[in-house]
Amino acid sequence: MRHAESLEDIDKTAYERIADEDMPLSEKGRRQAAEFGSKFISNFGTCNSLHITLSPSKRVLETAEILVSLLPPTVKWSLSTDYLIAKQNWGNVTIHNRSDIEKERYRVGVLRYQFPSGESGPEMLFRFDLFAKKLRTQMGISAGTTLVITHGFETRILLKSLLSWTEEYFESLAHPRHCEVKRLALEGSELILLDEMRKHDLSMNPDFIQRQ
């Protein structure tokens, strides 16, 4: 699941004042999380045991806190944070250099690019692959439901690790929307994606730079 809308989604200058890991939800985001929490059981079925794994981020934690506050008392829940699914470290990106960095990132390929003073695509993929292995093991031995809450790009990264997508297929997909969930089921030893992914619509961004 992707977290609810945060301040940086509506104010790109927020990073000049607030560290990424301290970025809070927007007011709309808090409403989104509350709406999601109120519909969780009706949308996702009976759930007596829920474990939520969080990316280490304030906006992710706030999304989870609102969700669990609205769960029925019959649901036993737990929270944990896992740094393996943290948002990719963009290093020293500002409103002044962001445009140039993003252009180069898409030209090189988002799974390959090395952020200046930040994290490379292969480094991020390595830790998400480690988490995917942990999650598959957990799904195989746990009778409850596991909900992973992270970021938009990172949700796609996790699905790539779990489902062994190619780089080309990954790049054809759009980020999940805020509070959008992609459900996975374990059938034997195979993971099945139960929800469709949206395709990346290039007509909405005619200046998009494709990987070379």
What is the rounded CA–CA span in Å between residue 14 and residue 23? 8
Determine the pLDDT at residue 211. 73
CB-count exposure of residue 156 (10 Å: 0-12, 13-18, 19+): buried
Rounded-to-integer distance, Cα 66 and Cα 23, Å: 16
pTM of the model: 0.91
Q: Identify the H or E element spanning 50.
A: strand 49-54
Please give the pLDDT value at position 203. Answer: 58
Blockwise average pLDDT, block size 10, the chain, 212 residues: 96 89 97 94 78 97 96 91 97 87 92 95 98 89 87 98 96 95 89 93 65 71
Please list, in sequence order, all residues whose beta carbon lies within 8 angstroms of the beta carbon of residue 117, skipping any fewer than 6 positions away.
Answer: 91, 92
C-alpha distances (whole Å) from 180 to each of 2, 65, 133, 149 are: 6, 17, 23, 10
d(CA 157, CA 133): 13
Query: 7-204: which CATH topology?
Result: Rossmann fold (3.40.50)
Determine the pLDDT at residue 69: 95
Residue with tokens 């709406």: 35
Q: What is the pLDDT of residue 205?
A: 64
Residue boundaries of the structural domains of the chain: 7-204
